[in-house]
Amino acid sequence: MTDADAATPAEPVASPTEAGGYTDGHAAAGLDAELPALDVFPNQFPAYVIEIDHPEFTSICPKTSLPDFGTLAIEYEPAESCLELKALKLYLNGYRNLGIFQENIVNRVLRDIVTATEPVWCEVRGSFTARGGMSTTVTAGWQRDDD
């Protein structure tokens, strides 16, 4: 390294997002996409837990357009309403051709279920199959505030 090199300012370093070519559009992709409506029915019993597994979940990576595969697990304690399973299946199948990051899938599903059912609590876990040698598991939860 010469004295001239030391005096030359370094090139600005791109952020990891810019370096990878990811944009704000990629990050927010699918969050507001229209999906089939969730439907509910009146809960008839107190204090129990419902667990639902969807082992054939698919979506599309908004950056690469490659398919993502995984299992979504939904666990919740219903208050006044329970999820109707056929509507849930149609809703989850609506992600099949949707470009959305795995982290956003789990958080959007949680948001939409909480909005539809107003449960006591809810947890959504997405276990996505390996791509590039790495698997991803994303878990998001919500707990009702007792006022």
Catalytic residue ranges: 61, 68
Contact 97, 45 (CB under 8 A): no
Q: Compute the distance between CA of residue 104 and CA of residue 95 in angstroms, rounded to an integer.
A: 11
CA distance linking residue 68 with residue 57, whole number of Å:
8
Please tell me the number of Cα atoms within 13 Å of 4 on its side-chain side: 0
Would you state the structure tokens that stand for residue 137, as one six-digit string?
A: 């598991």
Closest CA to 28 of 19, 36, 39, 17: 17
Query: Can you tell me the distance from the alpha carbon of 132 to that of 16, in angstroms, rounded to the nearest whole number?
Result: 19
The DSSP letter of residue 22 is: -
